[in-house]
Amino acid sequence: MQCQTVLPGTECTFMSKNGCVFPGGSCQNIVEDCEGCEKIVESSIGKVCSVYPAPAKKWANGICNFATHAKIEIKVEDVKVNPLKASKKASGGKKK
Ligand code: SF4
């Protein structure tokens, strides 16, 4: 249904015949960590997120997985492989 609270006319899964069913009855404003994200939209209560109604929760346990301005960095450390052991492993460790 279309939002009838802070983003009138925007399709939203939380809007029902009885109004917004999200806790608090409305989207919540973005948090400082959201600044720079492309999902931010202006609403009647200020800046809100277009894909998640409670931005603070998205940042509670690390980087928001919807963020366009911040990505999770996965560091792959150099793993040194002993060529002899790798060869043995590949051949199933069988001696000829
Ligand atoms: S997608 Fe995440 S970082 Fe971007 S505005 Fe929404 S909650 Fe904030």
User: Average of pLDDT values for 63-84?
Assistant: 83
Q: 52: closest CA among 32, 27, 71, 69?
A: 27
Q: What is the mean pLDDT of the chain?
A: 89
* Residues within 6 Å of ligand 1 by CB: 30, 34, 37, 39-40, 49, 51-52, 55, 58, 64, 66-67
pLDDT at 95 over 60: no
In this prediction the pTM is 0.73
pLDDT at 61 over 70: yes
Rounded to a whole number of angstroms, the distance between the first and last alpha carbons of the chain is 70
pLDDT at 36 over 70: yes
**pLDDT at residue 83 in the model:** 80
**pLDDT at residue 84 in the model:** 80
pLDDT confidence band for 94 (50 / 70 / 90): low
Please give the DSSP secondary-structure letter assigned to residue 29.
Answer: B
Name the helix (H) or strand (E) containing 85: helix 83-90
